[in-house]
Amino acid sequence: MKKVAGLIIAVGAVSFVVGIVSRILVMPFPTRAYGLEASAFMRFTDTCLLTSIALLLLDKSNK
């Protein structure tokens, strides 16, 4: 579980950096159909961090 939580934290960190860059440039991140706003990256970062916290707590409670 710790490895999965670490991977999710790394994905969240990358999403956080992309969101910050998108916010600084004041333009959406280009995708095929639509641009992703910085707030979408920040919400995904929140989701990743909450999931990793839940996984770490679940791992700790199983010991």
DSSP characters over 36-50 = BPHHHHHHHHHHHHH
* CA dihedral of residues 51, 55, 61, 63 (deg, nearest 10): -170
Please give the tally of structural domains in the chain. Answer: 1
Domain that holds residue 9: 2-61
Place of tokens 């770490």: 56
Burial 12-30 (b: 16+ CB within 10 A, else e): beebbebbeebeeeeeeee
Q: For residue range 4-63, what is the model confidence (pLDDT) as tens digits?
A: 999 999 999 999 998 898 888 877 767 666 777 888 889 999 999 999 999 999 999 987
Which pLDDT belongs to residue 23? 86
